[in-house]
Amino acid sequence: MSEPAAGSPRLTVGLAQIDCRLGDLEANLERHLAWIERAKAAGVDLLVFPELSLTGYRLLHLTTRVALPPQAPLFDRLAEAARPMTVVAGFVEESDRGLLHNSAVVLSGGPKRHIHRKLYLPTYGLFQEERFFRPGRRLDLVPLPWGRTGLLICEDLWHPELARRLAVAGARLLIVLSAGPGRIGSGDVPASHESWEMLCRTTALIDTCWVVYCNRVGWEEGSFYTGGSLVVRPGGEILERAPFLDEHLLVAEIDLRDADRVRWRLPLLADERTDIEGPNGEGLNP
């Protein structure tokens, strides 16, 4: 495995497409530690776990019982085990104000914990997130050794202005943690995956950035998660796709400079205008 110098735009990403034990922090931590070892052996620099990977997704009234503050010792254990890798994992965050968030934490070497709180909480169909979580209020770039990176959780990607803002602000890599429930129809791939693949490829195309999408697998309450995690090149071509339904470590070498190279011939972000006048909707809220 090549050994890029600090500040190099080249890195090996690993997507830990795992199953999770609902409401069982200890079992999930053990699983994370095992997959961290696997990823290290595969030469991974940046390892991404799915949404709520430390707790499972469909927690309902178990949500309060698995909430953790970002200073929890569990994260020290994870960060220590991961070194020198950077690890991104999902958890239920209890803020210092006592609010619960569906969050992702980035553990990169030192004691610093970068947190992204999910901004859009789906509460429709089988989703009930607003009953149990408060939405985040901030969108930030994460300073990783390879460059500034965008971090989104599942539904956040369905609101394309977030990915756009991150790309315009300098993200050449977008990490998406997901717990996307599966549906099938007549197609060869799960119908749920078709939407996600379209979304990831479109984002990589119009925001001219790498998209790394880690979805989980397994069953909760009769609903399965699709898997099919993706690494999509700037411009929308799929570099790697994980299998459906089964746990899998998807590994890909990526070069963030590819985003710059695509942007030189497809300057969509540089051309972005903020001065256009016209209809300014208030959304569909009455």
Binding site for another protein (CB under 8 A): 22-23, 58-62, 182, 184-190, 218-222, 224, 244-245
| Shortest reach from residue 38's CB to another protein, in Å | 21
For residue 186, how many other CB atoms are within 10 A of its CB? 5
User: Closest CB to another protein among 187 and 281?
Assistant: 187
Q: Residue 182 CB, nearest distance to another protein (Å)?
A: 7
Q: Do 104 and 113 meet the contact criterion of CB atoms below 8 Å apart?
A: no
Looking at beta carbons only, is 49 or 132 nearer to another protein?
A: 132
Cβ proximity of 176 and 197 under 8 Å: no
Nearest to 216 by CA among 88, 85, 96, 53: 53
CB nearer to another protein: give 84 or 185: 185
Least separation in angstroms between CB 61 and another protein: 5
Question: Which residue, 124 or 264, is less far from another protein as judged by CB?
Answer: 124
Partners of residue 144 on adjacent β-strands: 147
Of the pair 71, 223, the CB lying nearest another protein is at 223
Least distance from C-beta 30 to another protein, angstroms?
16
Task: In whole angstroms, give the CA distance from residue 93 to residue 103.
Answer: 6
Question: What CA–CA distance (Å, rounded) separates 167 from 207?
Answer: 6
What is the residue type of 76?
D
CA dihedral 47, 13, 10, 206 (to 10 degrees): -110
